[in-house]
Structure 1
Amino acid sequence: MFNKIIRGALTLAGASVGYAVTMLLLKISKFQSFIEMPIITPVMAFIIGIIGAVVGGIIFFVITPWLMEKGLNSANWIEGELQKIPTMDMVVGSVGLIIGLVIAYLISNILMGISIPIVGTILSIMLYIFLGYLGVSIATKKRDDLGNLAVIFKRNAKDKTETKGNKAATPKILDTSVIIDGRIADITQTGFVEGPIVIPEFVLEELRHIADSSDSLKRARGRRGLDILNKIQKELHMEVQITDKDFEEVAEVDIKLLKLAQFMGGKVVTNDYNLNKVAELQGVPVLNINELANAIKPVVLPGEEMIVQVIKEGKESGQGVAYLDDGTMIVVEGGRKHIGETMGVLVTSVLQTAAGRMIFAKPKMLVDKTA
C-alpha cells in the first residue's frame, strides 16, 4: 500500500513537471523569431500542456520502482554511515552546520545584490556549501576543545557557588574493577561519597563482555558488577550519570577513564594499583577503595594485647598466622604449635604495605578455645 501511494505521488509530480516543461518550451518558442511557427491559441497551448503532463506522468510512473530502489539503498547507506558516527559528534556537527548556514545566509544577502542574477545565485550556493562544510568540520575536530570550554565554565560556576557557601561536588567516575568489587555500593550508601556517580558506556560494554564470558568465574564477576550498578541506580539516593563520551583513538579502557576524568574534571574511583600509579603520573585525582579500607582499619600500636585464633603456619619457621575480622593478617612468632587454638598475643610491630597492614605479635597467654 505504501509503495502504491509513493508511486502515485511521483506520477503526479511527473505530470506536473511535464506540464511545466511544456509550457516553458512554448514560451521560449515565442521568442525564437528564426523559427516560423503557427499562432498557438490558448486552447492549443492547454492541449499541448496536457499532452506534456501525460508524457511526464507516464515517464515517472515507469521509472518510479527504480527511483524507489535507489532511494531505499541510499537511505540504508546513509543510516549505516550515521550509526558509525558518535552521538556527540552528530550533535556538535549539527550545531556547527546551523552556525555555518546562518553566516552563509547573512553573506548571501550581499551577494544577491550583484547586478548579474546568475552570478549572485551561483556564488550564494557555493557559499552555503562551503560554510556548511566548514562549520561541521571545525565543530567536530574541535569537539574536545569545546568540552574543555564547558569544563572551564563549570569550574567558574563551581567557584561562584563555593563563594556562596554551597560547594559543588566532583563527579566520581567508576572503573570496572571497583564496580565488580562491590564495596562502592556500601560506601555510597553511608553518604561518604558526594557528587554524581559517572559510569562510562565503554565500562558498561566491558562489563557486558565479562558477564557473557565462557569462563564461569568471569561470568559471575560480570553479573555481580551489573547487579551492583543496578543497586546503586535504583536503591541508593545518588545521582547516576551514564555518559557516551568515548575516545576512539585510545584502545585501553584505563586510559579512556583517565582522559574522561580530565575532560569532566572528575575523580576516578578504583581499586586497581596500576591504574592508581598511572593516574598519579598524569595528575588525575583517584579515590582508591583499598587505600580507604586500609585507612579505616583499627589502629594497633606495639604493646597492645589482643586475642586471636591461629589458623595456619607462617612462611618462617615456627610462625603462626591469624586474622582479624577485617582481614588484617597477624603473624605470631612461635605460634605454629598453637594452630587451631585461641590465644592472647602481644603486638610487637605493625607493617604497612601496598597490599594492606600486617601485624607482628608474640604469644602472651593461652585462653580457653570456647572463650
Structure 2
Amino acid sequence: MNTKKRIISIIFALVGVGLGLGVLPALWDLFNVENVTWLTNPIVDALLGALIFLILAELSAGWILRQLKAVETYLSNQSPSYLLFGSLGTIVGLVLAALISITTSNLPGPWGTVVSIVLMLVLGYLGFRTGTTRRDEWRKLFNARGKKPEPESGEVLERRAGENYRKFKLLDTSVIIDGRVQSIAKIGFIEGTLLVPTFVVHELQLISDSADALKRGRGRRGLDIINQMKADPDIHVEMYDGDFEDMTEVDSKLLKLAKLLDGVVITNDYNLNKVAQFQNVPVLNINALANALKPDLIPGEGLTVTVIKSGTERQQGVAYLEDGTMVVVEDGQFYINKPLDVVVTSAIQTAAGRMIFAKPAHQQKSLREQNPDPKPAGKKPTRK
C-alpha cells in the first residue's frame, strides 16, 4: 500500500469513527436493539464505523487518487498569480460565509447546519472564480497602491516578465517536421518552455507509419527533431501527457491546451493560424518570421540570378534567390540555366511570400544608350 492510499484509509477511518459514535446509537434506537449491550457499546460503534469506511476507502481509493492526480496536474500548470488570487478569493468567500452563518445558525432543526454548509460552498466557489478571472485587475490594483518610488540614477532596474510574456510555447506537427524551430530556439530567439503534447507526438508516429514513403520520411524527421531538441541543453523542452478525450482533431486539442495554459502556438499551418486568430490564441508563424527577415529590395537594385524555368506569361523566366524568393524576369526564358544580371523593377508581398519582378540589366543599358541624358543647360559657346 503506497503512502497516498494509506493516508486516504486513515482519513476514512477517522471519519468512520466519528460517524459511528454519532449515528449508530440513533440507528440502534430506531431498530429497538438498545437491549443488546455489546452492540450499543461506544467502542463497538467506533470500530463498526471505522470498518465500514475502511471498506469504502478500499473501493474508492483508485478513483480518489486519479482525481487527486488530475487536480495536481491542473494546479501545476497554473501560474503563481492564478493560485495566489484564487486562494485569496476563496478565503474571503469563506470568511463572508462564516459571518453570515452566525445569523443562520439559530434556525430550527438541522437547517442551520445545512444553510451554513451551502453558504460556504457557494461563497467559497464565487470567491475563487472572482479571484482567478479578474486577477489582472487585482494585480494592477495592488501595483498602483504599492508602487515603488523611481530608482535613483545609477541603479539597475529590476527585470521581470511583463503581461505579454507567456511561458509555454506549444509546437504543432507542421513546425516540428519543418525543423527550423530547433535552430531558432537554440540561438535564443524563443524564450520560455517549448511544450510538445503527447497527442502531437502520436500524430507524428502515425505519419511515420504511413504507407506513403514521403509522409513516412517526414514523420520520422519530426520524431528525430523532437529527440534532438530534448537532448540539447540549450533548448528547454517539456512533454505534456494530458489529452482531451472529447476531441478528435489535433489542432482543436492544441488550441484548447493553449487557452488552458495561457500559451502560444508555434506553427507553419496557414489554416491553424487563422483559426487561432479567430479564437484569440497567440500564434508564432515560422513562415511569417522568415518572410519578415528577407532583405528588402527596391527598384533599381541589381541582382545576379539563374533562370530555371519559363514563367506563366509570354517570354517570362523564373528564378529563385537563396532564401526561396521568386524572381520573375521579363524576357527571361531566353536565358534559362544561364547566370543573368537583372535590375529590380518592383516587388510585391503575397500570402505565399515575396515576389520580385526584374528585367535583364543589359536591356536597361541599351535603353540608356538609345536615350542619352540631355546636356545640362549653360552658356552657349562664343565664336572666336
TM-score class normalised by the smaller sequence = 0.5 to 0.7
Q: Is 1:265 matched up with 2:248? A: no
Q: Is 1:191 matched up with 2:188? A: yes
Q: Is 1:153 matched up with 2:147? A: no
Of 106-115 and 169-178, the range deviating more from structure 2: 106-115
8 Å CA contact 1:266–1:285 kept in 2: the answer is: yes
Distance in 2 separating the partners of 1:150 and 1:231: 25
CA drift at 1:108: 3.8
- Written as runs of structure 1 = structure 2, the 5 A alignment for 1:1-371 is 102=11, 105-106=14-15, 108-109=17-18, 111-112=20-21, 115=25, 116-117=40-41, 129=56, 136=63, 140=67, 143=70, 147=74, 150-153=77-80, 164-167=158-161, 170-365=167-362
8 Å CA contact 1:104–1:131 kept in 2: the answer is: no
| TM-score, L = length of structure 2 | 0.60
8 Å CA contact 2:18–2:49 kept in 1: the answer is: no
Distance in 2 separating the partners of 1:100 and 1:353: 65
8 Å CA contact 1:346–1:364 kept in 2: the answer is: yes
Distance in 2 separating the partners of 1:234 and 1:297: 31
8 Å CA contact 2:207–2:215 kept in 1: the answer is: yes
Is the partner of 1:102 in helix, strand or coil?
Answer: helix
Q: Deviations over 1:242-276 (max 9, x none)?
A: 11011111111111111111122211111011111
Q: Deviations over 1:102-158 (max 9, x none)?
A: 377357426425653466655666667399959957984995898279524356789
CA drift at 1:224: 1.1
- Residues 244 and 349 (structure 1), Cα distance of their counterparts in 2 relative to 1, 3 Å cut: same
Is the partner of 1:347 in helix, strand or coil?
Answer: strand
Distance in 2 separating the partners of 1:366 and 1:227: 50
- Structure 2 letter corresponding to 1:151: Q
CA drift at 1:332: 1.4
Structure 1 residues not aligned, in runs of 5+: 1-93
8 Å CA contact 1:294–1:357 kept in 2: the answer is: yes
Of 312-321 and 125-134, the range deviating more from structure 2: 125-134
- Structure 2 letter corresponding to 1:282: Q
Distance in 1 separating the partners of 2:363 and 2:338: 8
Distance in 1 separating the partners of 2:334 and 2:300: 23
**Count of aligned positions:** 273
| TM-score, L = length of structure 1 | 0.62
Distance in 1 separating the partners of 2:265 and 2:208: 23
Distance in 2 separating the partners of 1:196 and 1:255: 21
Of 183-192 and 145-154, the range deviating more from structure 2: 145-154
CA drift at 1:213: 2.0
8 Å CA contact 1:343–1:365 kept in 2: the answer is: no
CA drift at 1:324: 0.6
- Structure 1 letter corresponding to 2:289: L
Is the partner of 1:301 in helix, strand or coil?
Answer: coil
- Structure 2 letter corresponding to 1:112: L
- Residues 283 and 100 (structure 1), Cα distance of their counterparts in 2 relative to 1, 3 Å cut: farther
8 Å CA contact 2:8–2:57 kept in 1: the answer is: no
- Residues 146 and 191 (structure 1), Cα distance of their counterparts in 2 relative to 1, 3 Å cut: closer
CA drift at 1:317: 1.2
Distance in 2 separating the partners of 1:292 and 1:149: 32
Distance in 2 separating the partners of 1:138 and 1:279: 35
8 Å CA contact 1:179–1:229 kept in 2: the answer is: yes
Aligned equivalent of 1:5: none
Give RMSD over aligned pairs: 3.8
Which stretches of structure 1, 4 residues or longer, exceed 4 Å deviation after superposition? 97-101, 117-128, 130-139, 141-146, 154-160
Distance in 1 separating the partners of 2:199 and 2:180: 21
- Residues 131 and 219 (structure 1), Cα distance of their counterparts in 2 relative to 1, 3 Å cut: closer
Distance in 1 separating the partners of 2:9 and 2:354: 61
Q: Identity over aligned residues, as a percent?
A: 46
8 Å CA contact 1:308–1:345 kept in 2: the answer is: yes
Q: Deviations over 1:27-55 (max 9, x none)?
A: xxxxxxxxxxxxxxxxxxxxxxxxxxxxx
Q: Which has the higher helix share?
A: 1
